């Protein structure tokens, strides 16, 4: 190995069948008092303790003469190695069977890992550059495997196994690795290559995907004014039967999606699934600036040994969630009315949760570690999403800045200031820093805005702000359990009250199981709880598929006899259905917008021909 690097790792899939990676770490200059080692307990971008060390199957150490060196495990993620002369060799195996964007996964079809899952840290030497040798599994079955990562290459060819390097441990763990047989496509943005790697069975229209992603990426780069320095950017996609998620990295993103989310050859329309996938890609790409470089001061540097709470996640995830769909309409991939549908669905998700009146987005951010990421049956009643409500606060802040500056300044300006003054400069954003910049851009005190909507639990004043754009904000009851909002109810049911159980229902082998029971709803008033299984409704056997249509046609305020199981105990209760609350939102453009309002719309959505777009949207 090249002695320029005092720390060197090698990793290879020792047994794809058993899902095992073998890792070796060479430390040229171990601590003379005994080297300490540790594994991260969480991965940046996912704010929950995950205890990656639990997947280490065994670990041992040897000295330069291959003699064993004593290793003592001190706690769940730290080891103490006995003193020895260098180099010190650490060898261990990692069990990799987590098919998510956060961990490591290995089988005979592919391999994937995040550095936080496989690379042990050499305590006290985290600033040292390191070398990484990555090898394929042994055997002819794997001879066509390639490797995808944005780790800087030492002597490896592009998309091949070989030697890579990292400036420090922080960089080492911020470049996930995919290996296997995958499809590769490329495009360019701002003079920088952008690649898409898709693993898994699929029939994606790669040329269309490249064209659409290029538009989204170009839109984000244009807003910030520049792309952060990088050799290339990589979208790493794992296509599966069912799955959805993404995780941002400094020059790549890991994405998990259903193969049905990808555009199919010959498919010219924008399906809901594909629109959602593009929104996910847009979200993770926006993170290149917002959280990977513009980040809370408490994340500089990361302390991956413990929880690191901040009250700012509403901005880093919420603002990103606002721009992810906004970029789709700004890049002309969807029509304005399609964007209003997405926006209406976001408002609906927030409006349906009573938790928004109990928890602020600042508190939701702070408690993400043990509440948002560990949601249970009480979540809709007790917590609020800093993603969804954060996106609505970002929208309200954007429209507020536009209103108070006569459409001259916006949230776009705030993001550019954050990039120039914090992200590009490598300075962490302090608590309250975003509020100060917003006030500076507005030219007035905005403390009441943040006090009420970020640190308080009030709903942002969307109806009032939408008036500037002649957007109608409409509320209606949900049609059924699958109604996500964003569009009007069908005419035949819009004028009759919809019965409401006040609970979510999922299938169970024995009946209809309640997964969530909402505060002050009929189910809660009847003494039903999450986990209860309804087996009979007025003496008739029911399951999920039979109960839902029965609900839709049942008369309101009529006593219903319920038979249900709680654990293994049968009980009976009486319930009265109530009218469904008007918590489903849809937004519509008004055709008679004034010239000022039309100009404000065009400025907000960056429409080339706002009048034509509005006419088309209104006529849809």
Specify whether 155 is located in the same domain as 58: yes
Q: Is 323 exposed, middle or buried (0-12, 13-18, 19+ CB in 10 A)?
A: buried
Total residues found in the chain within this entry: 620
DSSP β-bridge partners for residue 165: 131
pLDDT at residue 614 greater than cutoff 80: no
Determine the pLDDT at residue 2: 44
Domain limit, last residue, from 158, 181, 204: 181
Specify whether 312 is located in the same domain as 443: yes
Radius of gyration of the chain (CA): 27
Residue 620 — pLDDT band, cuts 50, 70, 90? very low
- Nearest Cα residue to 347 out of 487, 231, 523: 487
Specify whether 373 is located in the same domain as 452: yes
- Where helices occur in 409-493 by DSSP H, the ranges are 411-418, 433-442, 447-453, 462-466
- Note the pLDDT tens digit of each residue in 574-600: 999 999 999 999 999 988 888 999 999
Distance CA 434, CA 454 (A): 12
pLDDT at residue 610 greater than cutoff 60: no
Specify whether 555 is located in the same domain as 452: no
425 in a domain, yes or no? yes
Specify whether 62 is located in the same domain as 141: yes
User: 416: domain CATH number?
Assistant: 1.10.390.10
- Note the pLDDT tens digit of each residue in 515-547: 999 999 999 999 999 999 999 999 999 998 899
Q: Is 538 exposed, middle or buried (0-12, 13-18, 19+ CB in 10 A)?
A: middle
User: 534: domain CATH number?
Assistant: 2.30.42.10
Domain limit, last residue, from 211, 245, 272: 272
2 in a domain, yes or no? no
Specify whether 508 is located in the same domain as 611: no
Please provide residue 234's backbone torsions phi and psi, each rounded to the nearest 5 degrees: -130, 125
- Note the pLDDT tens digit of each residue in 370-383: 999 999 999 999 99
Domain limit, last residue, from 152, 181, 210: 181
CB-based contacts of 370, cutoff 8 Å, min separation 6: none
Determine the pLDDT at residue 530: 98
User: 58: domain CATH number?
Assistant: 2.60.40.3650
Q: Domain of 266?
A: 182-272
Please provide residue 199's backbone torsions phi and psi, each rounded to the nearest 5 degrees: -105, 145
pLDDT at residue 613 greater than cutoff 80: no
Specify whether 459 is located in the same domain as 540: no
Specify whether 112 is located in the same domain as 171: yes
Q: What is the mean pLDDT of residues 200-205?
A: 97
Residue 611 — pLDDT band, cuts 50, 70, 90? very low
Distance CA 240, CA 228 (A): 31
Contact 276, 256 (CB under 8 A): no
282 in a domain, yes or no? no
User: Token match 């290995």: residue?
Assistant: 106
Determine the pLDDT at residue 494: 55
- Note the pLDDT tens digit of each residue in 151-197: 999 999 999 999 999 999 999 999 999 999 999 999 999 999 999 99
pLDDT at residue 615 greater than cutoff 70: no
Determine the pLDDT at residue 589: 92
pLDDT at residue 618 greater than cutoff 50: no
296 in a domain, yes or no? yes
522 in a domain, yes or no? yes
Distance CA 341, CA 363 (A): 29
- Going 556 to 558 to 561 to 567, the CA torsion angle's sign is positive
284 in a domain, yes or no? no
Predicted model pTM? 0.95
Residue 567 — pLDDT band, cuts 50, 70, 90? very high
CA 569 to chain centre: 39
Q: How many alpha carbons fall within 13 Å on the CB side of residue 551? A: 31
DSSP assignment string, 494-549: TTSPPEE-SEEEEEETTEEEEEEE-TTSHHHHTT--TT-EEEEETTEE--HHHHHH
- Nearest Cα residue to 64 out of 83, 84, 36, 79: 84
Specify whether 160 is located in the same domain as 213: no
CA distances from 114 to 20, 51, 104, 164, 167 (A): 14, 14, 6, 15, 17
- Note the pLDDT tens digit of each residue in 71-101: 999 999 999 999 999 899 999 999 999 999 9
Distance CA 250, CA 497 (A): 50
In the chain, % of residues over pLDDT 90 = 90
Distance CA 305, CA 116 (A): 11
414 in a domain, yes or no? yes
Distance CA 510, CA 10 (A): 51
Q: What is the mean pLDDT of residues 400-409?
A: 98
DSSP β-bridge partners for residue 573: 562
- Note the pLDDT tens digit of each residue in 230-257: 999 999 999 999 999 999 999 999 999 9
Beta strands 7-15 and 130-134 are parallel
Specify whether 78 is located in the same domain as 160: yes
Specify whether 42 is located in the same domain as 146: yes
CB-based contacts of 589, cutoff 8 Å, min separation 6: 336, 337, 340, 470, 471, 472, 601, 614, 617, 618
Contact 500, 522 (CB under 8 A): yes
How many domains does the chain fold into?
4
- Note the pLDDT tens digit of each residue in 420-436: 999 999 999 999 999 99
Specify whether 53 is located in the same domain as 128: yes
Residue 617 — pLDDT band, cuts 50, 70, 90? very low
pLDDT at residue 321 greater than cutoff 90: yes
Determine the pLDDT at residue 315: 98
H or E segment and range at residue 603: helix 595-605
User: 245: domain CATH number?
Assistant: 3.30.2010.30
Contact 50, 100 (CB under 8 A): no
418 in a domain, yes or no? yes
Average pLDDT across the chain, whole number = 95
Q: What is the mean pLDDT of residues 281-306?
A: 98
Distance CA 166, CA 173 (A): 9
């Amino acid at each position: 190995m090249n002695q320029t690097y005092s720390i060197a790792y090698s990793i290879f899939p020792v047994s794809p069948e058993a899902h095992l990676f073998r890792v070796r770490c060479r430390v040229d200059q171990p601590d003379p008092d005994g080297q300490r080692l540790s594994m991260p307990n969480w991965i940046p971008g996912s704010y929950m303790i995950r205890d990656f060390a639990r997947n280490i199957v065994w670990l041992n150490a040897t000295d330069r003469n291959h003699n064993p060196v004593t290793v003592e495990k001190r706690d769940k993620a730290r080891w103490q190695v006995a003193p020895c002369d260098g180099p010190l060799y650490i060898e261990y195996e990692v069990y990799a069977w987590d098919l998510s964007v956060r961990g490591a996964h290995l089988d005979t079809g592919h391999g994937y890992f995040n550095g936080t899952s496989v690379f042990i840290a050499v305590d006290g030497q985290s600033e040292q550059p390191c070398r990484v040798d990555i090898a394929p599994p042994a055997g002819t079955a794997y001879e066509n495997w390639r490797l995808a990562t944005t780790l800087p290459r030492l002597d490896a060819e592009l998309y091949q196994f070989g030697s890579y390097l990292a400036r420090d441990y922080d960089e080492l763990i911020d470049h996930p690795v995919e290996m296997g047989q995958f499809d590769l496509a490329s495009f360019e943005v701002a003079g920088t290559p952008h690649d898409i790697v898709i693993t898994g069975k699929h029939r994606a229209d790669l040329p269309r995907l490249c064209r659409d992603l290029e538009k989204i990426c170009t839109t984000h780069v244009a807003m910030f004014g520049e792309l952060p320095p990088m050799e290339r950017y990589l979208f790493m996609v794992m296509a599966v039967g069912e799955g959805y998620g993404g995780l941002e990295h400094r020059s790549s993103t890991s994405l998990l999606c259903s193969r049905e989310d990808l555009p199919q050859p010959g498919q010219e329309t924008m399906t809901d699934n594909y629109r959602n996938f593009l929104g996910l890609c847009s979200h993770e790409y926006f993170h290149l600036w917002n959280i990977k470089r513009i980040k809370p001061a408490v994340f500089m540097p990361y302390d991956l040994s413990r929880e690191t709470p901040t009250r700012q996640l509403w901005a880093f995830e919420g603002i990103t969630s606002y721009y992810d769909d906004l970029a789709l309409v700004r890049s002309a991939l969807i029509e304005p009315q399609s964007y209003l549908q997405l926006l209406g669905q976001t408002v609906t998700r927030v409006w349906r949760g009573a938790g928004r009146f109990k928890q602020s987005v600042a508190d939701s951010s702070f408690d993400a570690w043990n509440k948002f990421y560990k949601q249970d049956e009480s979540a809709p009643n007790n917590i609020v999403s800093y993603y969804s409500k954060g996106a609505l606060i970002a929208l309200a802040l954007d429209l507020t800045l536009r209103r108070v500056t006569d459409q001259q300044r916006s949230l776009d300006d705030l993001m550019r200031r954050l990039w120039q003054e914090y992200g590009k400069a490598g300075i962490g954003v302090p608590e309250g820093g975003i509020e100060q910049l917003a006030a500076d851009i507005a030219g007035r005190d905005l403390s009441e805005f943040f006090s009420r909507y970020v640190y308080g639990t009030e709903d942002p004043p969307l109806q009032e702000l939408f008036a500037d754009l002649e957007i109608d904000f409409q509320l209606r009851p949900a049609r059924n359990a699958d109604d996500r909002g964003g569009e009007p109810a069908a005419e035949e049911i819009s004028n009759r009250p919809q019965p409401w159980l006040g609970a979510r229902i999922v299938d169970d082998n024995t009946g209809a199981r309640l997964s969530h029971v909402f505060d002050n709803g009929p189910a809660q008033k009847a003494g039903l709880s999450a986990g209860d299984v309804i087996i009979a409704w007025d003496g008739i056997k029911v399951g999920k598929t039979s109960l839902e249509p029965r609900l839709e046609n049942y008369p309101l305020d009529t006593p219903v006899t319920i038979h249900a199981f709680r654990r293994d105990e049968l009980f009976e209760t009486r319930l009265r259905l109530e009218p469904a609350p008007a918590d489903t939102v849809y937004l519509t453009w008004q055709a008679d917008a004034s010239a000022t309002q039309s100009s404000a719309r065009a400025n907000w959505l960056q429409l080339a021909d706002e009048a034509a777009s509005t006419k088309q949207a209104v006529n849809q």
